[in-house]
Chains A and B, each alone.
Chain A
Amino acid sequence: MEFVHEGCQAPCSIKGIVIMMENAWLIPLFPLLSFLILLLFGKRLKEASAYVGILFTLASLVYSILVLFERFSEPTYGTNFEWLTIGDLHLTAGFEVNQLNALMLVIVSLVSFLVHTYSKGYMQGDERFPVFYAYLGLFTFAMLGLVISPNLLQTYIFWELVGVGSFLLIGFYFYKEEARAAAKKAFIMTRIGDVGLFIGMILLFWQTKSFEYKEIFAAVDAGEISTSMITLTAILIFIGAVGKSGQFPLHTWLPDAMEGPTPVSALIHAATMVAAGVYLVASLFPLFAASKTALLTIAVIGAFTAIFAASIGLVQTDIKRVLAYSTVSQLGYMMLALGSAGYVAGVFHLMTHAFFKALLFLAAGSVIHAVHTQNIEEMGGLWKKLKLTGPLFLIGTLAISGVPLFSGFFSKDEILAAAWEGGHPILFLLALIAAFMTAFYMFRLFFMVFTGEARGSQKHVHESPANMTYPMILLGVLAIIAGYVNTPWFGTFLGDWLVDGNEALAQHGHIEGPVWIMIAATVVSLAGIYLAYLMYYKRSLARNWLSGTGDTLHTIVLNKYYVDEFYQLTVLAATTAISYFLRFIDVFLVEGLVKGVVGIVQGLGRAGSKLQSGQVQTYGAVAFIGLALLVVIFAFTGGYLR
């Protein structure tokens, strides 16, 4: 195998300095090793499986942090080797550590490590404990592999592997009907998006003869691809991101995916996999940036998803579902940021969201662990009983609501500024309303779970064990401080670093918005919190003061705008009809043909076997007649048939 060094300009010619990045391909291999070990010896290791998983993800985490620190001082490192040669075509595989990849490596391995630790307490006593850890290892491997892929083909392979991991983990409680259905739904819905990604990828390959990001960007830059083709491929690839990141109209799988164990929801369906769509758009950003239409599409879908999902989140009563819709909504935010050319804003929010949403999910898991229900109507008054979980949940809630000084505030502000400067006042307004709704439903959740009287039957409510609370504490700290890496007050370190040395991105760096945006965002989120406070804490406002007694609006939102039902009636019905038609063809036409052929062959065989009577004398007679015939022919023709 011949190693071709790429992205290796003047500075990195000094050998040995980039030792960490040179071996960054090891990072995904640690969880893979964990997966393989648990697959082979999981049954024998039993509860000790947790330590295997935790140790290997810790190795990944440590290595990722080292790589990140090295990346601060060194330029992008990437290497490729030839993987397949078909004719003149050379497909390569390899890895690359650029700013975005290094950041994602740390986010993914950190959340994965914390979730591994947390699960040791949460999944205690589960019969398939080792299997759970094996699946977690597989998923972490796929996700880490995804973020260091330097070309579309490799990305696509890991993209699908991530989907498999998600499928396995959603369906972990496969004996539950809903979990099975949710796993299938998640897989199929994301597959729909993947088809878009696949077509886009092939079209790009057709145009540029390469899957490499670098060469694609170079071709786009040199104007080798027509603008309409760029728009088409960008939108097709975006469809892949829509599926994975749960954007409207393919968002319905994400709330259902909450059937999986809660740590999984935190890892996959909040912090990492669902962010893969955002990551894909971010890593292909130069392509998207070359098409105004594609960017606008992303921005519109993102903004619509943000407000659409937020409005559903207002009325849900399942703690995990509220968080799921908030995830969908926040992902919409990130898309809006990217679509408004706010590259840094999108990636920044991706990072802060990973921390506070993982925190919220883990805290929710801790609550569920304590009260054994997911229905917030049956909770209440848990603040005093869960002394650690309560404040941690509050930190997450404050962060996601965009309360000043918490991480979510800075990233949201960046996004709002990007939307405003991007020249879409309507999208900006939508984002602002979504921010209001987010603050409202998150605090509705908080007040209903942690304050007021205890509702339902709460017995033996206890705080979670240490290996569950420590990950939450760490995430809580990160949820507070992660925002300070990129603030208009202390410097935009993250934003400057992310676009450093990349001309295509440099013009989409940190966006300095007007000061009034920050004030507006603060006012809006505080208003949302105040409204929630009035309705769910002081109860001076009736819970149905807005929807009134007619309740139509409430019912519509409660039923998630009937999107699932709509799909049931249109797409599903159509698919079922086509399936029946094809089944008809299969049963009557194809099978008829097959049966006919089989009948003919069998008939011939039966006739042939009749000849085999077993009578030696008959055989002798036939042989003799044959010989006689030959002799006669020989006598008449002299041995030659003419």
Chain B
Amino acid sequence: MSSIPASAFLALALILFCIGLYGALTKKNTVIVLISIELMLNAVNINLVTFSKYGVAPSITGQIFALFAISVAAAEAAVGLAILIALYRNKKTVNIDEVDTMKN
């Protein structure tokens, strides 16, 4: 286990974050956008756990924090989906390009 260096975990988190960011900024389907955001959150969780093990001052706090982030993300996903459903009922679409009421 300890043979895997911290940089590998960090690289995985980076890749995951970039994929999530790409998806969040480019995908037209709002469901995909929400999933992409989850990806970015999980990338952060990986970072937290990694530093709780390999950080300058290893501590269990990082893992606990990751658990908090997961539970909050779950709640956030529920709220996000609820908003999405309300949006769909009003607009009959989940295409994010067509949701531009903030225009001008």
> Interface of A with B (CB < 8 Å)?
609, 612-617, 620-621, 624
> Interface of B with A (CB < 8 Å)?
21, 24-26, 33, 96-97, 99-104
A614 touches B100 (CB 8 A): yes
B24 touches A615 (CB 8 A): no
Closest 4 CB pairs of A and B: A614-B100, A614-B103, A614-B102, A621-B25
A616 to B36, CA, bound (A): 14
B103 touches A616 (CB 8 A): no
A614 to B25, CA, bound (A): 14
A606 to chain B, nearest CB (A): 10
Instruction: Kindly list chain B residues whose C-beta atoms are within 8 Å of the C-beta of A613.
Output: 100, 103
A617 touches B104 (CB 8 A): no
Q: If A615-B97, A617-B96 touch, does A624 touch B21 (CB 8 Å cutoff)?
A: yes
A612 touches B103 (CB 8 A): yes
Instruction: Kindly list chain A residues whose C-beta atoms are within 8 Å of the C-beta of B96.
Output: 615-617
In addition to A612-B102, A617-B26, A620-B25, 15 A-B residue pairs with Cβ atoms within 8 Å of each other are: A612-B103, A612-B104, A614-B101, A614-B102, A614-B103, A615-B97, A615-B100, A616-B96, A616-B99, A616-B102, A617-B25, A617-B33, A617-B96, A621-B25, A624-B25
A617 touches B103 (CB 8 A): no
> What are 7 A-to-B residue pairs whose CB atoms are below 8 Å?
A614-B100, A614-B102, A615-B97, A616-B96, A616-B99, A617-B26, A617-B96
Which residue on chain B has the smallest CB distance to residue A611? B104
The CB with the most chain B CB atoms within 10 A, among A609, A617, A620, is that of A617
A612 to B103, CA, bound (A): 5
Which residue on chain B has the smallest CB distance to residue A610? B104
A609 to B102, CA, bound (A): 11
Instruction: Kindly list chain A residues whose C-beta atoms are within 8 Å of the C-beta of B103.
Output: 612-614
Which residue on chain A has the smallest CB distance to residue B100? A614
A417 to B95, CA, bound (A): 107
Instruction: Kindly list chain A residues whose C-beta atoms are within 8 Å of the C-beta of B101.
Output: 614
Instruction: Kindly list chain B residues whose C-beta atoms are within 8 Å of the C-beta of A621.
Output: 25
B24 touches A620 (CB 8 A): yes
Which residue on chain B has the smallest CB distance to residue A615? B100
Instruction: Kindly list chain B residues whose C-beta atoms are within 8 Å of the C-beta of A609.
Output: 104
Instruction: Kindly list chain A residues whose C-beta atoms are within 8 Å of the C-beta of B26.
Output: 617
Which residue on chain A has the smallest CB distance to residue B27? A617
B41 to chain A, nearest CB (A): 15
Instruction: Kindly list chain B residues whose C-beta atoms are within 8 Å of the C-beta of A617.
Output: 24-26, 33, 96
Interface of A is mostly: helix
A593 to B101, CA, bound (A): 36
A612 to chain B, nearest CB (A): 5
A627 to chain B, nearest CB (A): 11
Instruction: Kindly list chain B residues whose C-beta atoms are within 8 Å of the C-beta of A624.
Output: 21, 25
Which residue on chain B has the smallest CB distance to residue A620? B25
A127 to B104, CA, bound (A): 57
A615 to B104, CA, bound (A): 11
A620 to B25, CA, bound (A): 7
The CB with the most chain B CB atoms within 10 A, among A612, A613, A614, is that of A614
A614 touches B24 (CB 8 A): no
Instruction: Kindly list chain B residues whose C-beta atoms are within 8 Å of the C-beta of A616.
Output: 96, 99, 102
The CB with the most chain B CB atoms within 10 A, among A609, A612, A615, A621, is that of A615
Which residue on chain A has the smallest CB distance to residue B28? A617
Instruction: Kindly list chain A residues whose C-beta atoms are within 8 Å of the C-beta of B99.
Output: 614, 616
Instruction: Kindly list chain A residues whose C-beta atoms are within 8 Å of the C-beta of B24.
Output: 617, 620
A613 to B103, CA, bound (A): 5
Which residue on chain B has the smallest CB distance to residue A616? B96
A614 to B97, CA, bound (A): 9
The CB with the most chain B CB atoms within 10 A, among A613, A616, A620, A621, is that of A616
Instruction: Kindly list chain B residues whose C-beta atoms are within 8 Å of the C-beta of A620.
Output: 24-25
Instruction: Kindly list chain A residues whose C-beta atoms are within 8 Å of the C-beta of B102.
Output: 612, 614, 616
A246 to B59, CA, bound (A): 103
Instruction: Kindly list chain B residues whose C-beta atoms are within 8 Å of the C-beta of A615.
Output: 96-97, 100
Which residue on chain B has the smallest CB distance to residue A618? B25
Which residue on chain A has the smallest CB distance to residue B101? A614
A614 touches B104 (CB 8 A): yes
Which residue on chain B has the smallest CB distance to residue A608? B104
A621 to B27, CA, bound (A): 12
B14 to chain A, nearest CB (A): 13
A620 to B97, CA, bound (A): 13
A616 to B101, CA, bound (A): 10
Instruction: Kindly list chain A residues whose C-beta atoms are within 8 Å of the C-beta of B33.
Output: 617
B86 to chain A, nearest CB (A): 16
A612 to B96, CA, bound (A): 15
A215 to B102, CA, bound (A): 73
Which residue on chain B has the smallest CB distance to residue A621? B25
A604 to chain B, nearest CB (A): 15
B90 to chain A, nearest CB (A): 15
A601 to chain B, nearest CB (A): 17
Which residue on chain A has the smallest CB distance to residue B97? A615
Which residue on chain B has the smallest CB distance to residue A612? B104
A620 to B24, CA, bound (A): 8
A620 to B102, CA, bound (A): 14
Instruction: Kindly list chain B residues whose C-beta atoms are within 8 Å of the C-beta of A614.
Output: 99-104
A52 to B76, CA, bound (A): 78
A615 to B96, CA, bound (A): 8
A205 to chain B, nearest CB (A): 59
Instruction: Kindly list chain A residues whose C-beta atoms are within 8 Å of the C-beta of B100.
Output: 613-615
B83 to chain A, nearest CB (A): 12
A612 to B104, CA, bound (A): 5
A363 to B76, CA, bound (A): 96
A619 to B97, CA, bound (A): 12
A41 to chain B, nearest CB (A): 55
A181 to B101, CA, bound (A): 59
Which residue on chain B has the smallest CB distance to residue A617? B25
B40 to chain A, nearest CB (A): 11
B10 to chain A, nearest CB (A): 16
A617 to B95, CA, bound (A): 12
A615 to B101, CA, bound (A): 9
A616 to B97, CA, bound (A): 8
A146 to chain B, nearest CB (A): 62
Instruction: Kindly list chain B residues whose C-beta atoms are within 8 Å of the C-beta of A612.
Output: 102-104
Which residue on chain A has the smallest CB distance to residue B21? A624
A609 to B26, CA, bound (A): 23
Instruction: Kindly list chain A residues whose C-beta atoms are within 8 Å of the C-beta of B97.
Output: 615
A611 to chain B, nearest CB (A): 10
A617 to B98, CA, bound (A): 12
A295 to chain B, nearest CB (A): 76
A612 to B101, CA, bound (A): 10
Which residue on chain A has the smallest CB distance to residue B30? A616
Which residue on chain B has the smallest CB distance to residue A623? B25
A242 to chain B, nearest CB (A): 64
A614 to B103, CA, bound (A): 4
A613 to B99, CA, bound (A): 10
A440 to B12, CA, bound (A): 122
